[in-house]
Structure 1
Amino acid sequence: MRYINANAILPKELVEKLQNFVQGEYLYIPAIKDQHKPWGELSGFREEIDRRNRDIMQAYASGASIQELAESYCLSVYAIRKIIYAK
């Protein structure tokens, strides 16, 4: 989630009205239910994690041990097992 200055996108009247409730704080405005994006979709982080997990599964299938993968990817053995046995 990134910070956006309300003055840059909202009408002055609406900013002044909001200032009656909160000033100088972060305000989360939830997405409309049908327009909600899954975690990591906007930043691309979900895709990065999925790519890493595919690489881990391929390395395991090629003979890398769980311990080697944990050390290589700086993850716990438990996390590597969750990735390998997820599906």
Structure 2
Amino acid sequence: MEYKSAEGVLPAELIKQIQRYVDGAVVYIPRNETNLKRWGEQNGTRSRLRQRNQAIYQRFLEGETVADLAARHYLSEKSIRRILREEKRN
């Protein structure tokens, strides 16, 4: 989240109106719902996890065991099974 000075982005009339309610206080203005991004989209985490999960599924298809996959990726066997179920559906 980036801090911006109200004087630089809002019209003077609007600043005066806001000051009537929160004079001098810090106010958080949430993003418009149409501009919201899902978890991990902005920094690439979602995409990296998707690639990792696809690689896990491919290694499983090639014969690697759930236990070996869990050890390789520092995940629990339960997490590996969940990933395999999800990847099988896709």
Query: Aligning the two structures, in what range does the TM-score lie when normalised by the shorter sequence?
Result: 0.7 to 0.9
Number of residue equivalences: 78
1:21 aligned onto 2:25: yes
Q: Is it true that 1:55 corresponds to 2:55 in the alignment?
A: yes
Q: Identity of aligned pairs, percent?
A: 27
Using CA pairs under 8 Å that are at least 6 residues apart, name the structure with larger relative contact order, 1 or 2.
Answer: 2
Q: Hey, what does 1:31 align to over in structure 2?
A: 31
Higher Rg of the two aligned structures = 2
2:22 aligned with 1:11, yes or no?
Answer: no
Root mean square deviation, CA, Å: 2.4
With normalisation by structure 2, the TM-score equals 0.71
Partner of 2:80: 80
Q: Against the structure 1 CA distance between its residues 19 and 81, is the aligned structure 2 distance closer, same or farther, given a 3 Å change threshold?
A: farther
**Cα distance between partner residues in 1 of 2:23 and 2:66:** 53
TM-score normalized with structure 1 length: 0.73
Structure 1 residue runs without a partner (length 5+): none
Please identify runs of 4+ aligned residues in structure 1 that moved more than 4 A: none
